[in-house]
Structure 1
Amino acid sequence: MLTIWGRLNSHNVKKVAWFAEEAGLAYVRHDVGGAFGMDSAYLAKNPNALIPTIEDGEVTLWESNAILRYLAARHAPARFWPADPAARAMADRWMDWQADYAEAQRDAFLNLIRRPEGERDAEAIKRSAAACAEKMAVLDAHLATSQWLSGDSFGIGDVPMGVYAHTWFTLPIERPDLPNVADWYAGLQARKGYASQVMIPLT
């Protein structure tokens, strides 16, 4: 059975837990990180002291997007790992692009969710919201030509940004009207695994 190590209020853990649901994988998840801490046994698995980490048989792996690619290729290639390198790369690019988006969203998330109101930096939140809007406009332009980030159907390329999109729509920040992103998000919300693993309170 697949084991996922990491607390579910982490964006990166949400990715892996959601994808495990999408791929129909039997798994168990253990809370690690944040308030749950990390013991020496966990650090032996992941010396970076980050989450998530998975164990799948003899494979131990960290880095969330690498985990997604591994799980897709090993357990669900027909659905999530196209044989055509070009088709795979079209989805894969959005997985890497998500890292830039995450940096844009960081200050808004940390200030509004992780810090007490009296300690928040209003200017940092404003800058972060503007940076998120700029990135989301790029996403919206792409989604004007494609229903999903992975192409004609939902795929692995939708997972990383799908997690961050929920945060963007949930944070109390100013958001431009981006109809294609909104339609894509509505499609994600209809997915059972997304509702159970991603659409949880931000903490």
Structure 2
Amino acid sequence: MLEPGLPARAPGSFLARHGNGYRFTAGPEALDLNRFRALVTDARTFTGRAEPTQALERYAEALHLVQGRAGDGLADTPGARVVFANLDDEFLEAVLAAAGIAVRLHRPARMLAPLRRAAEMEPLHELVQASLVTTLAAAGHRAEALTTYRVIRTRLADELGIDPGSDLQQAYRRILRVSAAPAGFAKATRRTGPGRRPRTARDG
């Protein structure tokens, strides 16, 4: 399973005999976690250099490596739960940073998949849910963004007895402001540009 092309009984790269059993060994280059952390470090470096496009690419590559909760089903001791929870936090932090960049670059759709994954992992994490609401709206999915907000608002009330915090409320208000803008205003502004007036029927 680990090395499908390896001939029978040939020594492999990952399993070595150890006493009456086997020991699994893998170099740093074989671990997704190391690759994830290296890519996130690169992304932060590009962010610090004011190179957001390159930062977003590194974040996207890193987040693609994460398929769900770290150690899902294996956290059977308090120590293991702490380790895996910290790894999940690394993923959430990277998602939030990447989503902010994607929205600023007008490429919000790029981060919807990892954001949805993060929101499923942490249904009560207000920063993650607020980022999902904002990114959905920026990608043109306003109905889904509003539904997402209402779901998390109800969940917070039912499970924790609290109202949405400032981040969620601000994300909601931004959707309402955009929805309330005069139809066609943004399009006309982009088309005519500063210092030019829109063409009208009288212009011929």
Q: Tell me whether the two structures share a fold, i.e. TM-score over 0.5.
A: no
Give the TM-score of the pair, scaled to structure 2: 0.31
Q: Which has the larger radius of gyration?
A: 2
Give the TM-score of the pair, scaled to structure 1: 0.31
